[in-house]
Structure 1
Amino acid sequence: MTGRKLITEVAGIVEAPVAVVFDDLAGALLPDDRRTGRFTVEDLPGHTSTVEVIGHTISLQGGWWYRGEWSVEPHPQGAMLVHRVFNVAQWMRWGVPLANRFFVGFADRTRQGFAENLVQVGQRLGCSTHLV
C-alpha cells in the first residue's frame, strides 16, 4: 500500500505458537469466523471500516486517515504481536494531526492499551507476555 505514514508502533512477546496467538487475535478483532480476505464491518453505529486479513496480519481501515495493523510474527520465545497505526489520508494528510488533538499522547495511550490487551491475551492463552 502506498501513501501511508507510520504514526506509532508497539510490540510484545507472547510465549505461545504463532497460530495460537493469531487465532486469539482474530477472535478478538474479527466479527465472525472470517479469517481471510477483505470485507466491510460496521464497527460503530453508522460507521464502517474495511478489514483485510492476509496471512497472520489483520488490518482495519476506516475514516479518512486511520489504518491499524496487527500482525503475529515468529519469535524465539513464541510469537511477536505487533500493532501499527498509519495515517493513510489521500488528501490533507498534513491536517490529520491538526484535526485530531488526541494525537498529543497518542503513542503513550496506544502503548498502554496494547500492554493491557497483551496481559489479557496471556491470561486467555495461559502463557507469559511482555512488551518489547
Structure 2
Amino acid sequence: MTPAETPLCEVRGVVEAPVDRVAGLILRVRPGPVGRHNCFPLAEHGGTLTGGPDRFVLAAPGHTMTVEVGPDRLAVQGGWWYRGEYRLAPDPAGTLLVHQVRNVAERLRWGVPLANGFFRRFGPRTREGFAVLLDRVGAELGCPVRLLGGR
C-alpha cells in the first residue's frame, strides 16, 4: 500500500440491519442543509452541501470540505491532510460499517503523524466519535449496533 492508501486509524462496527437500510441513511447525500435526513454522518457539523450527484462541497461553520458518495462509501476530505471514509459491507449480523482516516497531504505529508502525535488522543477520539455515530445510526434505524476493534 502507498502511504495515502494506509489508514492512520480504522474503526469498525456492526449495524444489525440490512445493507440497503444502512446505505439509505449513511449514503443519502443531496444539495441542501446537512442534518438528520441529509449526509447523516456529518449531521452534527451542520453546514450546506452544493454540487452533486456524487461529489459535493460542504460549507460548514469555519471550514469547507469535499464530500464524495458512491454505492458503498461516503468520503469526506478537508484541511491539508484529512480524508475520512465510511464504507459499508454485508455482515452475517447485518452491515459492517468501517471508518478510516487517511493522510492525503500533498505537501508536508511527513508532518501529519507528527502533528497528530501532539494530539495523543487522535485514535481514541476517532473511536469515540465513531461510537457516537454508530449509536445514532442504531437509534435512527431502531436496531442494535456493536462497536468492534480497530487500529
**Common fold by TM > 0.5:** yes
User: Aligned-pair RMSD on alpha carbons?
Assistant: 2.2
Contact 2:41 2:133 in 1 (8 A): no
Runs of 4+ in 1 over 4 A off after TM superposition: none
Structure 1 unaligned segments of length 5 or more: list them: none
Query: Per chain length, whose mean CA-contact separation is higher, i.e. which structure has more relative contact order (CA < 8 Å, sep 6+)?
Result: 1
1:56 to 66, 72, 90: 72
Alignment partner of 2:41 out of 10, 21, 29: 29
Aligned residues: 129
Shift of 1:36: 4.2
What's the % identity of the aligned pairs? Answer: 48
| Alignment partners' CA distance in 2, 1:96 and 1:12 | 26
* Alpha-carbon offset, residue 11 of structure 1: 0.6
User: What letter matches 2:94 in structure 1?
Assistant: G
Distance 1:6 1:117, change over 3 A: same
Give the residue type in structure 1 aligned to 2:72: H
Structure 2 SS opposite 1:120: helix
Q: Within the alignment, does 1:42 sit opposite 2:59 as a pair?
A: yes
1:94 aligned onto 2:110: yes
How far apart are the structure 1 equivalents of 2:139 and 2:133? 10
Larger proportion of helix: 1
